[in-house]
A and B are shown apart, each in its own frame.
Chain A
Amino acid sequence: MTGFIAIRRTFGRIVSTLGGAVGTVIIVVVVGAAILAPLIVTHDPDALDILNRFSGPSAAHWLGTDHLGRDLYSRLVFGAQVAMLVALIAISSALVLGTLLGILAATLSTRWERVILIVFDIISSFPSLVLALAVVAVFGPSTALVTAIVAVTLVPHFGRVARAQMLTLRNAPFMEAERLLGTSATRIVLSHVLPNIAGPLVVLASIDIPVVITIEAGLSFIGLGVRPPLASWGTLIYDGYAYLSDSNIPVIVASAALAVATLGFTLFGEALRDAVDPRLDRGGH
């Protein structure tokens, strides 16, 4: 119950700022579109209508059609679904794996801690897009692969924060008391460690969402991510860009959707960080 109240209070703080409110509205629209995609589209996103290619916005096609006469609005909505799925899967797996490694690094011997930290360093030393290029070049483009690569590159983010949090927590008196009482390590982690370190990790996760959306769209844009005919914002931008001389509506619509979505998630993530981060209270001096 207290958890629920805390969440409500945090959310209240987020929407009370302009950026947070705008971000929340955008997120509700994007996530809503992703979940309700099959219900709210007006056309089959893959249905071709060659006679009506590059038609401008109309009552039949709200945002017009692309180079194959496919309905842009419907493709955009399904693109939201792809973006959200990739972000959700990549970030939650990185969150779980990173937290686990971070906690292990802080609790195991110094030698293992070193090994884990060096692995983190190596992963972060690869520019993620370049790493993705190398891997995709070998295995061919696929949505699953993009998700996996993004997840791996995000693991150090979460791992470092989890480790730092765990280090400050390790010597807290209540932790010592639990250990003296003979509570098992698993139980300590589940009932004490995780609730205590969750805040910063959740903030980090929300700040990483636009990053993941950008990487997915970027890779799909150059044809190395989501494969056609599946609609991703990146492939929509690519299609629009390739037929720029015929019509610039598709590329504008798709890029604008991507820009608004990343902006919305960034605004929300930062509002969440400010709402959770107690250091902000210091700012008044």
Chain B
Amino acid sequence: MSETAHYVASRLATTVLIVLGAMLLLFALSALVPGDPATALLGPAATPEYAKRFIAEMGLDQPWYQRLFTFLGNILLGNLGTDVLSGRPVTRVIADVLPYTFILTFTAIGLAVAIGVPLGCYAATHRGSVLDHVFAFVSVAFIAIPAFVIAIFLLLIFAIWLNWLPVLGAGEESSWLDQAKRLILPTIALSVGWIGFIARLVRSSMLETMGENFIRLSRAYGLPSRLVTYKYALKNACIPTLAVLGMGVGRLLGGAVLIEIVFARPGLGRLMFDAISTRNFPVLQGAVLVVVLIFVLTNLLVDISYAAIDPRIRRQGSR
């Protein structure tokens, strides 16, 4: 048990360090904004008096170490600052759009697993067959082609030429069906790359597992082939898949930025994009921090959960 505790503790420490690093970087970036921050934020039309008051309110007249201290303290208290444009707390602004990004990301992961795992299983159990080769090529194509390009093609084909699905926006607040319809194309666009990735990963790790001694032994004992393949081999093949999914959340969030822009969907990505074009730094800072937090925490969760599945990993980690 202490082995596990040690592993979890060391992963936690790294995570804290990473989050701290991210906060320092964000602070450094905000301090590096070229030109006078008040003019940059308020625009040249602001009166000198207003600019002065703004600077005092934002604490921009204090020395940098004091601002850093306030910055870190505020984040720890859950205060990410104020939206320069609307005057609302950044945390509220983010909380409003976060569900959209979460829904998109999780449906995409779900779809990727639901299609990728069976594809990989089939390819591994029918190695060398025609379909195996076809899947292999399709997987590479899926992985290689950028998600936003796939998004654009989906939009062209299904929304413009065929006119099957509505796109743009998240849909009417009241209509559950409308929202679901508008989720279909973004989800497919975001998950395509991961379908390819997961299919290949499951295939290769299943093949690797099936060559191992414990599988041969189970076969030699005369256990049913189905049981050996789907219970033992698949279960072991899941470990790398889990690890990749952890890494994937971060990449999916990055991909979601572009997808949300293509489909004009509200969400964290869209929020960052708008914050950049309106030079709304507090919102951008808060959104980036939230993305990093989600990313780091999922990684931590995945690391810990696969250490729980596979004892070999925690032994390795604590050394």
Contacts and interface: CB of A to CB of B under 8 A. Distances in A.
Contact of A127 (B21, B273, B279, B291): B291
The B interface is mostly helix, strand or loop, or mixed, namely helix
Interface stretch (B88-96, B182-190, B228-236, B246-254): B246-254
B284 A126 contact: no
Contacts, number: 120
A111 interface: no
A125 B292 contact: yes
B281 interface: yes
Given A218-B148, A265-B144, 14 more contacts: A122-B18, A125-B299, A126-B292, A128-B254, A133-B288, A134-B29, A137-B275, A138-B34, A221-B148, A237-B148, A248-B160, A255-B152, A259-B145, A270-B140
Interface residues of A, number: 43
A263 B142 CA distance: 9
B177 interface: no
B3 to A, nearest CB: 20
Contacts of B254: 127-130
Contacts of B77: none
Interface in A123-159: 125-131, 133-139
B149 interface: yes
The A interface is mostly helix, strand or loop, or mixed, namely helix
A138 B146 contact: no
Nearest to A130: B291
A122 B22 contact: yes
B242 interface: no
B129 interface: no
Given A118-B17, A267-B144, A285 B211 contact: yes
B14 A118 contact: yes
Contacts of A204: none
Contacts of A263: 140-141, 144-145
Closest CB pairs A-B (n = 7): A129-B254, A266-B144, A127-B254, A127-B250, A122-B21, A137-B276, A263-B144
Interface in B3-21: 14, 17-18, 21
A127 B291 CA distance: 8
Interface in A252-266: 252, 255, 258-259, 262-263, 265-266
A283 to B, nearest CB: 8
A127 B276 contact: no
B156 A130 contact: no
Interface string A223-244: 1100000000000010001001
Interface string A77-95: 0000000000000000000
B261 A222 contact: yes
